Amino acid sequence: MSEKILVGVSGGVDSTVSALRLRDLGYDVTAAHLILKDGEDPTDRLRLECLAQHVPVHRLDCREQFDDRVVRPFLDAYRKGLTPNPCVICNAALKFRALFELADRLGIEKVASGHYARVLKRGDRWAIARTTSPKDQTYMLCRLPYEWLPRLCFPLSEERDKTGVKDELASRVGERLAQGDSQGICFLEGGSLERFLEDHIALEERHIGRMVDHDGKDLGPHKGLIFYTEGQRRGLGLSRGPWFVERRDFTGNRLLLSHGAEAAVGTIYFENARWQQEVRAGQDCLVQFCYRARPVPGRLADCRDGCGTVKLQKTAGSVSIGQALALYDVTERVLLGGGFIKYME
């Protein structure tokens, strides 16, 4: 009897190919599509219809949970001056949780997704590990609880880039359905983050105020502290640059700007950590503090009661409070776990 596996499918290229590959490998595949918002991308819908000709597709209405667990906390975080990563939160709080709950109801042990990640076993422990792909997505999985790891499967773990994946889908369903794919934060629906915040956060919650330099000189008004992040250079609208955002003062609603080189961050303090592997103070690690950034060498200086401190080997910029922080083992690049940045210096 073929081994059963449940595959989460968004209707995108990666998850569609993942489901078809597993079917070709002889698995008894069931697909699950989570409905997260009103409306559906026409191309994604067509991919799902094509997939349904090969495997059964369950559709789960998760719109209410998505709003409660992802969108509202995202907006609340911005109101507090944080820079959240909704995809990291969604994977742990909603997407994979819903998949495992469905798998349990259906009596299915294994759960797969189209993420660019690896699962491996080291001794008696399972782990998520980085891939060689520039599209590596392990950062997005840093909050998954350990108990899910033995049941996970990532069919795209050996893919170097997306070219081969798109070619594979084109050979199955045609060139048109192999083009395009979802990018960025899904609930923005192709719009800008700034527009989304404007539509959902009231004027009095935006912390509108003035821009100032180190000498306290007034540089003009800003549209609200929630629209800026530490290290930001673009969109400041000032001459005699380059300027960058050094700090946001929520007490006085002031945006402190500096000239020249960006403020260097050497130490990051994080909270609400969730560990997939055992860690210890003094442990060398690789540190990733946003999806597009490459992991950098550091050392876990402290870790207890869900909080910790990481000291970077070299100072870095563009680190924002509220971002997810993923830590990796330095040898096999195994994901150790992740928390949220509390502050840095």
Place of tokens 């990640």: 117
The whole-angstrom separation of Cα 210 and Cα 225 is 9
For residue 343, the cross-strand partners are 269
**Quick check: helix, strand or coil at residue 200?**
helix
Per-residue pLDDT of the chain (345 residues; tens, 9 = 90+): 689 999 999 999 999 999 999 999 999 999 999 999 988 788 888 899 988 999 999 999 999 999 999 999 999 999 999 999 999 999 999 999 999 999 999 999 999 999 999 999 999 999 999 999 999 999 999 999 999 999 999 999 999 888 899 998 989 888 888 877 666 788 987 789 999 999 999 999 999 999 999 889 999 999 999 999 888 888 898 887 788 898 899 999 999 999 876 678 999 999 999 999 999 999 999 999 998 889 999 999 999 889 999 999 998 887 889 999 999 999 999 999 999 999 998
Domain limits, the chain: 4-114+155-188, 213-259, 265-344
Catalytic residues: 90, 186
What does the H/E/C string look like for 137-181? CHHHHCCCCHHHHHHEECCCCCCCCCHHHHHHHHHHHCCHHHCCC
Q: What is the pLDDT of residue 40?
A: 78
C-alpha separations of 250 from 107, 138, 168 in Å: 51, 33, 50
Task: List beta partners, residue 308.
Answer: 270, 303
pLDDT value, residue 189: 77
Domain 265-344 fold:
Elongation Factor Tu (Ef-tu); domain 3 (2.40.30)
Q: How is residue 98 written in tokens?
A: 């819903």
Calpha distance 8→61 (Å, rounded): 13
Q: Closest by alpha carbon to 137, among 88, 174, 75?
A: 88
DSSP state of 50: H
Q: What is the pLDDT of residue 262?
A: 65
Give me the architecture of the 4-114+155-188 domain, per CATH: 3-Layer(aba) Sandwich (3.40)
Burial of 246 (0-12, 13-18, 19+ CB in 10 A): middle
pTM for the model stands at: 0.93
**Which tokens in the block code for residue 62?**
């998760």
- What per-residue confidence (pLDDT) applies to 1? 67
Provide the CA 215 distance to its chain's centre, in angstroms.
38
Residues in a beta bridge with 297? 286
Each residue of 276-330: pLDDT tens digit? Answer: 999 999 999 999 999 888 999 999 999 988 999 999 999 888 788 999 999 999 9
Q: How far is CA 138 from the centre of its chain?
A: 9
Structure tokens at 50: 């094509």
Three-class HEC string of 54-106: CCCEEEEECHHHHHHHHHHHHHHHHHCCCCCCHHHHHHHHHHHHHHHHHHHHH
Radius of gyration from C-alpha coordinates of the chain = 22
Provide the pLDDT for residue 42: 82
Measured from the Cβ of residue 70, the count of other Cβ atoms closer than 10 Å reads 24
Give residues with Cβ within 8 angstroms of 297, minimum separation 6: 284, 285, 286, 287, 312, 313, 314, 330
